[in-house]
A and B are shown apart, each in its own frame.
Chain A
Amino acid sequence: MNVPLKWLAEYVELPKSLDTLTHRLTMVGHMLDKVAKRAGDTIIDLELRGNRSDMFGLIGIARDVAAAFGKSLKLPPVSKLPQTDPASPLVLADKSADGLVKRYIAVKLSVKVGPSPAWLADRLTAYGLEPINNVVDVTNYVMIETSHPLHAFDFNKLNGGKLILRRGHAGEKFATIQQGTTLTLTSDDLAICDSRSVQCLNIIGGLDTKVTDSTSTIILETAVYDSASTRRTARRHKVYTEGGNRHEKHQDPAELPFTLARAAHLLTEVAAAKVTSSVSDYYPHPVRPTVIRFDPHEVARLTGLSLPESKITSVLRSLEFTVSGSEITVPTFRTDIEGPADLVEEIVRLIGYDTVPETPLSGPIPDPQNYPVYTLQEKVRDLLISLGASEAITSTMTPAENTDSIRLVNPPDPAQAFLRTQLHPNLVGYAQKLLHQKVSRVALFEIGKVFFKSKNKYCEKLHLALVLGGQVSSANWRSPSPRPTDIYDLKGLVSGFQKLAGLEHLSGSFFAFGNLFAFETDLEVVGPLMIGHAVYSLTPQFPAIIEDFNIGYHPPYSDLIKRIHKVSPLVKKIELMDKYGDKLTLRITYHSDSRQLSSSDIKPLRHKLNQLFPD
Chain B
Amino acid sequence: MRDKLNNLKNEAIAMAIGAEGAAELERLRVQYLGKSGALAQIAKQLSGLPSEEKKDLGQLFNDVKSAILQALESKSQTDNPQLTTNNYDLSLPGTPAPAGILHPITVVTRELNGIFQSLGFSVADGPELENDEYNYNRLNLPADHPARDLQDTLYIKEPDVILRTHTSSVEAHILAETKPPYRFVIPGKVYRYENLSVANNAMFFQYQGLAVGEGITMANLKSTINTFIRLFYGPNRKSRFRCKYYPEVEPGVGVDIDCPFCAQKGCAVCKQRGWIEMLGAGMVHPNMLRQVNLNPATISGFAWGMGLDRIVMTRYGINDIRSLTNGDLLYNI
Contacts and interface: CB of A to CB of B under 8 A. Distances in A.
A437 B330 CA distance: 9
B260 interface: no
A248 B146 contact: yes
A412 B202 contact: yes
A312 to B, nearest CB: 14
A102 B256 CA distance: 39
Contact of A361 (B129, B216, B333): B216
B245 A51 contact: yes
Contact of A385 (B102, B247, B271, B300): B102
B133 to A, nearest CB: 15
A413 B103 contact: no
A412 B58 CA distance: 75
Nearest to A378: B110
Given A361-B224, A388-B98, A433 B129 contact: no
B155 A33 contact: no
A50 interface: yes
Nearest to B195: A412
B183 A366 contact: yes
Interface size class of B (residues with CB under 8 A): 35 or more
B326 A395 contact: yes
A535 to B, nearest CB: 18
Contacts of B150: 235, 410
A2 B103 CA distance: 42
Contact of A393 (B220, B285, B324): B324
A479 B274 CA distance: 53
A167 interface: no
A474 B217 CA distance: 55
A543 B65 CA distance: 14
Contact of B154 (A359, A410, A434): A410
B283 A302 contact: yes
B218 A410 contact: no
A413 B192 CA distance: 12
B76 interface: no
B188 to A, nearest CB: 10
Interface stretch (A8-16, A337-345, A584-592): A337-345
A516 to B, nearest CB: 13
B189 A396 contact: yes
Interface stretch (A24-32, A138-146, A209-217, A547-555): A24-32
Interface stretch (A69-77, A348-356, A556-564): A348-356
A247 interface: no
A511 B59 CA distance: 50
Given A381-B106, A396-B203, A232 B144 contact: yes
Interface in B52-100: 55, 58-59, 62, 92-93, 95-96, 98-100
A387 B99 CA distance: 7
A145 B70 CA distance: 92
A286 interface: no
A561 B154 CA distance: 52
A488 interface: no
Nearest to B216: A361
Interface string B175-193: 0000001110000010101
Nearest to B154: A408
A441 interface: yes
Contact of A27 (B93, B182, B183, B242): B242
A304 B100 contact: no
Contacts of B291: none
A451 interface: yes
Nearest to B126: A371
A374 B123 contact: yes
Contacts of B254: 31
A52 interface: yes
A341 B250 contact: yes
Interface in A210-266: 227-228, 231-232, 235, 248
A173 B161 CA distance: 33
A195 B252 CA distance: 48
Residue from A51, A431, A432 having most chain B Cβ neighbours under 10 A = A51
Interface stretch (B5-13, B16-24, B114-122): B114-122
A350 to B, nearest CB: 9
B100 A391 contact: yes
A513 interface: no
A143 B313 CA distance: 42
A170 interface: no
Interface in B126-161: 127-129, 143-144, 146-147, 149-151, 154-158, 161
Contacts of A360: 119, 220, 223-224, 227
B307 interface: no
B111 interface: no
Contact of A358 (B156, B183, B226): B226
Nearest to A50: B146
Contacts of B271: 33-34
B279 to A, nearest CB: 14
Contacts of A1: none
A596 B324 contact: no
Given A341-B283, A371-B125, A430 B244 contact: no
A476 interface: yes
B330 to A, nearest CB: 7
Contacts of B110: 378
A359 B271 CA distance: 32
B54 to A, nearest CB: 10
A596 to B, nearest CB: 7
B156 A409 contact: yes
A596 B253 CA distance: 73
Nearest to B118: A365
A109 B58 CA distance: 120
A543 B62 CA distance: 10
A498 interface: no
B222 interface: yes
A302 B289 CA distance: 14
Contact of A365 (B120, B224, B331): B120
A345 B243 contact: yes
B124 interface: yes
B193 A410 contact: yes
A31 B244 contact: yes
Nearest to A346: B251
Given A370-B124, A432-B327, 5 more contacts: A232-B144, A370-B123, A409-B155, A445-B100, A458-B156
Interface of B: 55, 58-59, 62, 92-93, 95-96, 98-103, 105-106, 110, 117, 119-120, 122-125, 127-129, 143-144, 146-147, 149-151, 154-158, 161, 163, 181-183, 189, 191, 193-196, 202-203, 211, 213, 215-220, 222-224, 226-227, 240-245, 247, 250-254, 271-273, 283, 285-286, 296, 300, 324-328, 330-331, 333
